[in-house]
Amino acid sequence: FAPDPEGALARSAELWAEAEESLEWAAARALGEVRLDQDTLSVKGLLELPRGLRSLVIRRMAAEALGTERGIDRVHIEQVLHILEKGEGHAMATLPKGLRVERWRDRLRFRVTPPGPEEKAPLDGEWGLPLEGEREIPELGWRFRLSRIPRPESLTPPSPYVAYIDLRKVLPPLYVRTRRPGDRIRPLGFPKEKKLKDVLSSAGIPPEERDRVPLLCDKRGIIWAVGARLSEDYKVGGDATEVLRVEAERLR
């Protein structure tokens, strides 16, 4: 038997290529199974996958959001795995090229927000909101929808961009503004007020975005830091039959 190192290398290369093809097929299939919509994955579904396959699914989703795999390194996949495996409730990972991966309970959302000078600049002002209806605020890049609804069976909002508020505790007028020095809020479930910057940090909102986080306010103070926390002072009481539902949506 004569050694054939070149033939052995060729066979090894073929085996590696077949293995890689099988992994890509498995990742594509797994992605289809855990996908909830175009930019959202199921946390529960991801956690049921082997960790290696989980990493491949995250990489594929990130590459799909960005249109390329360039710039997505192992350290970035580990960031997402951390909020997926260790995080609870609301957490966020910031990846290159403006990719934000946001966990909200059982949903993991991939969203690209390309940075620009206008996004980084602090914005000061107040924008009034109706108690019922819709308002688009192009300066902030948000749309708000407000409606009075019967008390829902579950007061857990479907996303961090929806809030249920006790109408009886609201002191109109309602308006939206951005943060100011000295802002404080008593987060839902907390006995005392906290600095707003600490609340935004705990919610995983990157420092460069905090000056443009919309704050829903009334005459008494901050009701809701959008995407972060509702104030304990405005939570729906046990005897409330009607609530104010507020939904915030980013303008594309």
pLDDT reported for residue 209: 80
Mean pLDDT (whole number) for 144-160: 92
Range in 22-31, 48-57, 87-96, 114-123 the model is least confident about: 114-123
Range in 126-135, 196-205, 240-249 the model is least confident about: 196-205
Dist CA 220 CA 26 (whole Å): 54
- At 4, the pLDDT band (50, 70, 90 cuts) reads low
pLDDT at 212 over 90: no
Look at the alpha carbons of 210, 243, 252, 70 in this order and tell me if their dihedral is positive or negative. Answer: positive
pTM confidence score: 0.63
pLDDT reported for residue 10: 58
Phi first, then psi: give them for residue 122, nearest 5 degrees: -60, 150
Q: Where in the chain is the domain with CATH 3.30.465.60?
A: 5-112
Looking at 44-150, which runs of residues are DSSP E strands?
Answer: 90-94, 99-104, 107-112, 126-129, 133-137, 142-150
pLDDT at 137 over 70: yes
Dist CA 29 CA 126 (whole Å): 47
- At 54, the pLDDT band (50, 70, 90 cuts) reads very high
Share of the chain above pLDDT 90, in %: 53
Nearest to 234 by CA among 184, 175, 186, 176: 186
Q: Which residue has the higher pLDDT, 101 or 2?
A: 101
Q: Hey, which CATH number is domain 5-112, 1.20.1600.10, 3.80.30.20, 2.60.120.10, 3.30.465.60?
A: 3.30.465.60
pLDDT reported for residue 204: 73
